[in-house]
Amino acid sequence: MVLLSAGICTKSGRAVLARQFVEMTRSRVEGLFAAFPKLLSESQQHTFVETDSVRYVYQPIEQLYMVLVTTKTSNILEDLETLHLFARVIPEYCRSLDERDISDNVFDLIFAFDEIVALGYRESVTIAQVRTFTEMDSHEEKVHQMVQKNKEKEAKEEMKRKMKEMESQRRAERKGRGGAPKGYGSSTGFGSGSGMGQQDQGQNSGPQRSGGFKGGAGSGGMGSGMGSGMGSGGGAPAPSRSTGGGMKLGGKKDGDAFLGQLMAEGVNVGGSMGSSQGAPVSLASAKRQASLTGGIPQSQEAVHIKIEEKITLTALRDGGLEQMEVKGDLILRVADADYNKIALKVLVPDPSAKPFQYKTHPNCNKQLFAEQGMIGLKNPGRGFPVGSEQGVLKYRCATTDDSLAPLTINCWPNVNPDGTCDVNIEYDLEDQALSLENVLISIPMPNGKPDVGSVEGEATYNARDHTMEWSIPIIDASSPTGSMEMSAPARHADDFFPIHCTFVSSTTFSGIQIEAVIGEGNTQTPFSTETTFCVDSFQVV
């Protein structure tokens, strides 16, 4: 077939939307759609009309027409099939099939039309594939955004660490000068007797104060007298006056303002901000806090191991796997330098059951892992990094063997003559060693809200995304199967695909375990583990 144009027009022949697949002028397109209603007759039983040059294949949609303009040599059966696919795309993007709603979603409809027809010829796509192609949910973009956020977080933490180091240096410099305020000099300033005499005169020139150091006229006179003594070997005493350079008790230090800024940013630096005697304690607390940035919960040992696995699975609706891939990372974190010279004894499952491939970090001893299942450094004297996470092992399993799928989902839609569809969906936990939590199965519902007959768990209709969300709190060996029955408005079984699923689990798919952590002198080192198995992509197409 050669499709010239696809469009939606009013009953008077005004084009609301038109997409051309060959070179045509605007006046030509408007003329074709304006002539279309004049060719229709009330007694006509067909859904196509012809002129000397083109053929119109159309379908009424409420007060509008969905019209395809083709050449007269095109296959009429293919034209009708393509027309039905176009008509089913419109409810995907328009809530109500009126002119205003179609105008609001015109670009989404044009993009969808382009997925159906290219250069005048129909592509072999389904309604579910059109939806997937237009959404274009990019996993790479999500990963890039996560990497950027992590970089920003690390930069902020590095900035705070540098600020604390600078403050520590300023405190050390003040301690090296004896901690004296600006009004005092060094011990050499008291070199002449006349200077000391002028100091006494400066003190006596003001009124007597019982406190001595109260920051009033007396202390000002003291500072003045000392300045005169250091400036000259003798001479007349300088008049007593209060200056801004004298001692001020209770004044706010620059360090206090800096610590206050850190506390405003959420950093716990400890100590008292109002007392200079509390400064060393605050600095020690700040150093301890900096060493535990991104800190370790109390329940974790000094050696903590994380095992993270993600699954990507695409299953076929008729059975079998299109692809399945499970990727895993073993991440080590050592919080104490006394425990960094260690080796991990890893219990690797039988490769004949699940064909995983393993790859150790370049700094790790590959031969040691291959022969003994131990993860250790090539140079054991160096030790693992302290205070940061280090990936030491990666593993991967890629297969099309459907017997290895941890969970299978089967959907059985049965289209009725009245325009509804009876849908039965069931799941089966194939790997009963797993315990899947917070399971969410999302089924497309493009034609409206269904009527749910029975369900194990909870079913909720998402009107915004046109999906039925079936949530199951937990799937394990005690409840490995479940089903849901519902009736939904639909014209084709493709409307209910692709089905998406997400879950999390504290048990790994691979079955990998840490048997022991061996420290110096072949001693057992206490450790803690954290395992996660989650979904990167899980769908039935």
CA-derived radius of gyration, the chain: 39
The pLDDT tens digits of the residues spanning 54-103 come to: 889 988 888 888 999 988 888 888 888 888 888 888 888 887 778 888 88
Is pLDDT of 143 > 70?
A: yes
Half-sphere exposure of 348 (CA within 13 A, CB side): 21
Angle subtended at Cα 417 by Cα 63 and Cα 11, rounded to the nearest 5 degrees? 10
Angle between the 76-93 and 106-116 helix axes, to the nearest 10 degrees?
A: 150
Confidence class for position 535, pLDDT limits 50, 70, 90: very high
What is the Cα–Cα distance from 28 to 26, expressed in whole angstroms? 5
Confidence class for position 291, pLDDT limits 50, 70, 90: very low
Is pLDDT of 141 > 90?
A: no
> In which element (H, E) is residue 19 found?
strand 15-20
| pLDDT of amino acid 1 | 54
Is pLDDT of 376 > 60?
A: yes
Query: Once rounded to an integer, what is the mean pLDDT over residues 37-55?
Result: 81
Give me the residue label for tokens 């057992």. Answer: 524
| pLDDT of amino acid 537 | 93
| pLDDT of amino acid 396 | 92
> In which element (H, E) is residue 415 found?
strand 407-415
Q: Where in the chain is the domain with CATH 2.60.40.1170?
A: 303-403+509-540, 407-505
Burial 367-397 (b: 16+ CB within 10 A, else e): ebbeeeebbbbeeeeebbebbeeeebbebeb
What is the Cα–Cα distance from 288 to 242, expressed in whole angstroms? 43
| pLDDT of amino acid 470 | 92
Query: Once rounded to an integer, what is the mean pLDDT over residues 165-192?
Result: 62
Report the Cα–Cα distance between both ends of the chain, in Å, rounded: 28
* 233 φ, ψ (degrees, to nearest 5): -75, -15
CATH 3.40.630.30 assigned to domain 3-135? The reply is no
**Residue 361, Cβ density class (10 Å: 0-12 exposed, 13-18 middle, ≥19 buried):** middle
Q: Where in the chain is the domain with CATH 3.30.450.60?
A: 3-135
- Tokens representing 185 are 């000099």
Q: Give Cα separations from 427 to 32, 139, 246, 482, 484 (angstroms).
A: 51, 26, 81, 6, 9
Q: What letter represents residue 4's amino acid?
A: L
Query: Once rounded to an integer, what is the mean pLDDT over residues 413-433?
Result: 88
**Residue 434, Cβ density class (10 Å: 0-12 exposed, 13-18 middle, ≥19 buried):** buried
Confidence class for position 351, pLDDT limits 50, 70, 90: confident
What is the Cα–Cα distance from 132 to 501, expressed in whole angstroms? 15
Is pLDDT of 368 > 70?
A: yes
Mean pLDDT for all residues in the chain:
77
Confidence class for position 46, pLDDT limits 50, 70, 90: confident
DSSP characters over 264-282: HTT----S-TT-GGGHHHH
User: What's CA 521's distance to the chain center, in Å?
Assistant: 42
| pLDDT of amino acid 240 | 45
Is pLDDT of 287 > 60?
A: no
Q: Which CATH architecture fits 407-505?
A: Sandwich (2.60)
Q: 303-403+509-540 falls under which CATH superfamily?
A: Mu homology domain, subdomain B (2.60.40.1170)
